[in-house]
Amino acid sequence: MRFSELIKKSGITAASAVGGSGDPVVSDVVYDSRNVKPGALYVAVPGAKVHGDTFIESAIKNGAVAVISENAQSEKLSTPWAVVPDVRSIIGKLGLALWGINLKDIMTVGVTGTNGKTTTASLFKRLFDRVYGKEYSWLFGTIENVLGNESAGASHTTPEAVDIFRFINNAKVKPRSLAMEVSSHALSLKRIAGLEFGVAVWTNLTQDHLDFHKSMDKYYEAKKLLFTGYIKRGGRGVVNIDDEYGRRLCSELRSVNILTYGRSGDADVRIGGWKCDWSGTSVDIEYNGAYLAFASPLRGFFNVYNITAMIAGAFALGIDTATIKETLESMPIVSGRMDIVDIKAPFTVVVDYAHTPDALVNVLKTCKELTSGKVICVFGCGGDRDKTKRPLMGKAVVENCDEAVVTSDNPRSEEPEAIIKDILEGMPPMFPYSVTPDRRKAIKYALDSAQPNDCVVIAGKGHETYQEIKGKRDHFDDRLEAVNVYKSV
């Protein structure tokens, strides 16, 4: 497609300035100069530290045939260029237009919230496997990206929309459904601009990412964007009305068709009862005057909400109850989410991704209810992230388990001892805890200490297979570490 035609089809009505010469054929849309190949349009994105304009020359050397930026370029630049006021808002739209992607042909579900996104999106993926067939069902999320029968690791919770559109264009088998986690960062940075969702799901909102958003109100407003800017015409919002921010969202969305879920008496899809044990979870639902029972291998009360979110979304899509039940009954444990490590020990070892105060409370409460002995928690906090939640993490552990081993998570550029010091501000000295900055040694210490019928919860990293220290990622998997150190106990 010619550069001028691409701009027009992308909905860019008028560029504030243009330059260069020619009207080349564009074959790709790229925002990282390192990924530019001959024929690409390079979009210069303003970064947190370096502006994409810095790499225009490099992009052209790599084969970029045109440039879009928020800034006018030098008259010396012969490559055609255009200026738009907000490049982030048009990257996805450029890909949508270039490859002629028709989102009306794809059932899209976006899941946002602090906790539960991965499990809920995975539940929708399994649902769509049954409705459309596995080869036509896609998933984008924290753990992995699944494109039909193929899967790959995920670098971000939510990829750029233009990358998703490129995947669709290049796929031999086009998707009929797409479930994805939508992070607050992606919404704030307009990473999903160009996407639309038939169903948008709100799980909950608790403290996280305040290093980026600065306040809970701004965090909420970022999440809210999924419902105000990305729902298809005729689409629906599915909202947890038990969550205070979810209820607020419902009160503020006047033009969106909302289906609520929760234990509240006014929920459209009401949770009437539930049962949780180590074998899984069952939940009773009341909807449109009917009483329905569902069961799943997923463990923990918090999964009652994740399961109900998917059920409500399925109802919104008109999917029959039998298909929903079959999906839930066959749902495997999501990697790193209430994931029991099989080490043939007289105690239980659980690995979970819980890295917020609320998520820790949920996991520890569940394990406490299911454990006749003590609950020992191994946990830390990530470096270069919201520091205000660190003492809250410590407090959550103190109030919901019997012992703790405070250690490193992903310290990144910070010193582990400094992070641990912040955590300990929320932990009274009389609570039985120990400090072991080396995470491998911390896991071994906890397993050494565990007695029959105890439960050791290793929290914070879940599915991750690395530990990031001083800009370097070394292989580290909590599940494998538990297996390996137990062999040496």
- How many Å apart are CA 289 and CA 476, to the nearest integer? 49
Query: Cβ neighbours of residue 229 under 8 Å, at least 6 residues apart?
Result: none
Confidence label for 216 from pLDDT (cuts 50, 70 and 90): confident
What is residue 465's predicted lDDT score, i.e. its pLDDT? 92
Confidence label for 77 from pLDDT (cuts 50, 70 and 90): confident
Q: What is the pLDDT of residues 31-50, one digit of tens each?
A: 999 999 999 999 999 987 88
Q: With beta carbons less than 8 A apart as the criterion, state whether 194 and 155 touch.
A: no
What is residue 154's predicted lDDT score, i.e. its pLDDT? 65
Question: pLDDT at residue 213 above 80?
Answer: no
What is residue 27's predicted lDDT score, i.e. its pLDDT? 97
Domain boundaries, the chain: 3-99, 103-329, 339-488
> Radius of gyration of the chain from Cα atoms?
24
Average of per-residue pLDDT across 217-232: 95
What is residue 305's predicted lDDT score, i.e. its pLDDT? 97
Query: Cβ neighbours of residue 439 under 8 Å, at least 6 residues apart?
Result: 378, 380, 407, 408, 409, 467, 476, 481
Q: Is 3.40.1190.10 the CATH number for 103-329?
A: yes
Question: pLDDT at residue 173 above 90?
Answer: yes
State whether the Cα torsion 144-463-107-10 is positive or negative. Answer: negative
Average of per-residue pLDDT across 481-487: 90
CATH number given to 3-99: 3.40.1390.10
Question: pLDDT at residue 473 above 80?
Answer: yes
Question: pLDDT at residue 139 above 70?
Answer: yes
Residue where the block lists tokens 């539940």: 123
Question: How do beta strands 137-140 and 144-147 pair?
Answer: antiparallel
What is residue 254's predicted lDDT score, i.e. its pLDDT? 85
What is residue 16's predicted lDDT score, i.e. its pLDDT? 63
Q: Residues in the chain, how many?
A: 489
Element (H, E) at 98: helix 91-99
Question: pLDDT at residue 412 above 90?
Answer: yes
179 bridge partner residues: 109, 139
Residue 48: count of CB within 10 angstroms of its CB: 7
Q: What is the pLDDT of residues 294-320, one digit of tens each?
A: 999 999 898 999 999 999 999 999 999
Q: With beta carbons less than 8 A apart as the criterion, state whether 463 and 353 touch.
A: yes
What is residue 264's predicted lDDT score, i.e. its pLDDT? 95
Superfamily of domain 339-488: Mur ligase, C-terminal domain (3.90.190.20)
Mean pLDDT of the chain: 93
Question: How does DSSP classify residue 410?
Answer: -
Structure tokens given for 102: 């028709």
Confidence label for 334 from pLDDT (cuts 50, 70 and 90): confident
Confidence label for 280 from pLDDT (cuts 50, 70 and 90): very high
Q: What percent of the chain is predicted at pLDDT more than 90? A: 83
Average of per-residue pLDDT across 171-199: 94
Structure tokens given for 25: 């054929």
Question: pLDDT at residue 102 above 70?
Answer: yes
Residue 326 Cα distances to 55, 130, 293, angstroms: 51, 9, 12
Q: With beta carbons less than 8 A apart as the criterion, state whether 447 and 441 touch.
A: no
Smallest CA-to-CA distance from 393 within 472, 105, 385 is with: 385
Query: Cβ neighbours of residue 372 under 8 Å, at least 6 residues apart?
Result: 453
Residue where the block lists tokens 């939510």: 158
Query: Cβ neighbours of residue 165 under 8 Å, at least 6 residues apart?
Result: 92, 95, 96, 98, 99, 101, 194
Q: Which has the minimum average pLDDT: 150-159, 400-409, 467-476? A: 150-159
Question: How does DSSP classify residue 402?
Answer: S
Question: pLDDT at residue 14 above 70?
Answer: no
| Between 153 and 476, the higher pLDDT residue | 476
Q: How far is CA 371 from the centre of its chain?
A: 29
Average of per-residue pLDDT across 455-470: 95
DSSP helix, strand, coil percent of the chain (3-state; round to 5): 35, 25, 40
Q: Which has the minimum average pLDDT: 60-64, 149-153, 358-362, 367-371? A: 149-153
Confidence label for 151 from pLDDT (cuts 50, 70 and 90): confident
Average of per-residue pLDDT across 221-250: 96
Q: What is the pTM of this model?
A: 0.88
